[in-house]
Structure 1
Amino acid sequence: MAIGAGVAVAAALLGIASYTATKPDDSSGATVTEEAAGDRPATSTEAEGQAGAYPELEKLARRDAKDPLAQGDADAPVVMVEYADFKCGYCGKFARDTEPGLVEKYVEKGTLRIEWRNFPIFGADSERAARGAWAAGRQGRFWRFHEAAYADGSKEKGFGGERLKELAEEAGVKDVGRFVKDAGSDEARAAVKRDQEEAYGLGATSTPSFLVNGRPISGAQPDQVFDQAIEAAAKAAEGAKKSVGKSADGSR
């Protein structure tokens, strides 16, 4: 997937290996382990290297108002794209400890939109959970499923067929039979693969990874890292809007 010249730099800023070096070998059935994939919080050195946004990466925001795997206004000034795996411990930490605050501070006030991308890298269980999440979204229950799947101790129970049905029921999915059918469909596999290949195209092999208006952030960073990135992006977006307005006035 060709995104543009900024991809190589962005991959370095994310502090993770290239797709070709670590992509699971489908022919051998090998999968990426949590240790190899970098399921860990980013170091302070990585955080310091995350300044700067890339227009090529900002374009990855889909801004589809009907996307069930997103929350926030489609035209919000800031979009945070999140690449994550339901088997990832630090993704769960972010979901429980940081994301609710971001929703309250920025999403509910119209500043931020969060777009989820399924990025299963820890084997068959991850893949099943990703397809289950997508299927829950078909019935408007993705974020409730997300909450249930990331609850403390949830990933240790695995994501087998019966467990996914339990999570669907916990998330308030009305038609569990349809959920099971959707989760096993070719459409679900294609949707998950699309997100996964998008992340691999960035060079991403660790979770969670984020783009905030094209600015890469790697790992479950402290709250203030996300606050600073979102507020800086919002300020830049407002500045760009004013600049466009001035240009338009000057052209008349």
Structure 2
Amino acid sequence: MSRPKTQSKQTARKPAKSRKQPYLIGAAVLVVAGVLGMASYQVSAPDPRPAVDGSGAAAASDPAPADAHPELTGLARRDAKDPLAQGRADAPVVMIEYADFKCSYCGKFARDTEPELVKKYVDDGTLRIEWRNFPIFGAESEAAARGAWAAGQQGRFWQFHAAAYARDAKEKGFGGDRLKELAKEAGVPDAARFAADLDGEAAKAAVKKDQDEAYALGASSTPSFLINGTPLAGAQPMDSFAQVIDAAARTAKK
């Protein structure tokens, strides 16, 4: 799939055309897949008169209200050894993030909002963040996803994540040499192993598993999130995430 030439002013990036792969995640999840797809569309639809922040960029609109779907909480893997996750495995709230390294809005979330979430909720044990690779912008997107997974096999996923989402990093592309540079920047200790893992079948299978999960949920844009079963799409401001996380935490305590 080729990369779109332009990016519209909206809160999430969308591929030129949607692919939905079959993925068996349980009958209860499949029943609500259409609901989640509609929620993703409603939240990421552009405001006809977008607000403008101080930088001149279109500001994200407030998310449309969405009901939680308890059936979807089972998608949280809660694997304490998962290198693509951060936070306690038994945290009361799990946020699953489906994202693409070539997505500008994913980068905005990674730089501006995610660090605040980590400081406020992950560090105190309330929130766990589980990453899912959801490459939708072509070959370089998939290569970057495999590179991130490969870095994770040496415990450097989040460092690779930060390097790949650094301001202006996306413009340098994600070709083979660039991925090696990012791995070095992330402090991946074994470059030979990184290169082997990057092109290995395990990386391809792991990325496909995440991608299929997202398509089965009806996701068609990045970033897309599930917070204890509540869908949220786009690089929303901190307050939007806080409202959903706080509500989920209160429900979990009942």
Find the aligned partners of 1:57 and 1:80 in 2 and give their Cα distance.
Answer: 11
Cα offset, 1:41, TM superposition? 7.3
> Counterpart amino acid of 1:48?
A
Cα offset, 1:201, TM superposition? 0.3
Give the structure 1 partner of residue 64 of structure 2: 48
| 2:98 alignment partner, SS class | strand
Find the aligned partners of 1:135 and 1:75 in 2 and give their Cα distance.
Answer: 25
| 2:106 alignment partner, SS class | helix
Q: Please say if residues 42 and 218 of structure 1, whose CA atoms lie closer than 8 Å, have aligned partners that are also in contact.
A: no
Give the structure 1 partner of residue 189 of structure 2: 174
**How many pairs were matched up?**
213
RMSD of equivalent CA atoms: 1.3
> Counterpart amino acid of 2:246?
E
Q: Deviations over 1:45-70 (max 9, x none)?
A: xx123x21102221111101110000
Give the structure 2 partner of residue 198 of structure 1: 213
Identical amino acids, percent of aligned pairs: 66
TM-score by length of 1: 0.82
Q: Please say if residues 128 and 160 of structure 1, whose CA atoms lie closer than 8 Å, have aligned partners that are also in contact.
A: yes
Q: Please say if residues 4 and 56 of structure 1, whose CA atoms lie closer than 8 Å, have aligned partners that are also in contact.
A: no
TM-score by length of 2: 0.81
Give the structure 2 partner of residue 138 of structure 1: 153
Q: Deviations over 1:164-222 (max 9, x none)?
A: 01000100000011001001001100000000000000111100000000000010001
Match of 1:14 among 27, 37, 40: 40
Cα offset, 1:42, TM superposition? 5.8
Q: Deviations over 1:101-127 (max 9, x none)?
A: 000000010000000000000000000
Find the aligned partners of 1:114 and 1:41 in 2 and give their Cα distance.
Answer: 24
Give the structure 2 partner of residue 69 of structure 1: 84
| 2:130 alignment partner, SS class | strand
- Which protein has the larger Cα radius of gyration, Structure 1 or Structure 2? 1
Unaligned runs of 5+ in 2: 1-22, 43-57
> Counterpart amino acid of 1:66?
K
Give the structure 2 partner of residue 248 of structure 1: none
Find the aligned partners of 1:110 and 1:226 in 2 and give their Cα distance.
Answer: 16
> Counterpart amino acid of 1:102?
L
Unaligned runs of 5+ in 1: 17-39, 240-252
**Change in 2 beyond 3 A, CA 1:140/1:191:** same
Match of 2:133 among 113, 118, 130: 118
Give the structure 1 partner of residue 96 of structure 2: 81
Find the aligned partners of 1:221 and 1:151 in 2 and give their Cα distance.
Answer: 18
Q: Please say if residues 212 and 230 of structure 1, whose CA atoms lie closer than 8 Å, have aligned partners that are also in contact.
A: yes
Find the aligned partners of 2:105 and 2:225 in 1 and give their Cα distance.
Answer: 13
Find the aligned partners of 1:41 and 1:194 in 2 and give their Cα distance.
Answer: 32
Find the aligned partners of 1:42 and 1:216 in 2 and give their Cα distance.
Answer: 16
Give the structure 1 partner of residue 46 of structure 2: none
Match of 1:219 among 234, 240, 245: 234
Find the aligned partners of 1:97 and 1:145 in 2 and give their Cα distance.
Answer: 17
| 1:210 alignment partner, SS class | strand
Q: Deviations over 1:4-46 (max 9, x none)?
A: 3222112111117xxxxxxxxxxxxxxxxxxxxxxx97644xx
Give the structure 2 partner of residue 27 of structure 1: none
Give the structure 2 partner of residue 162 of structure 1: 177
Say whether 1:148 aligns with 2:163. yes
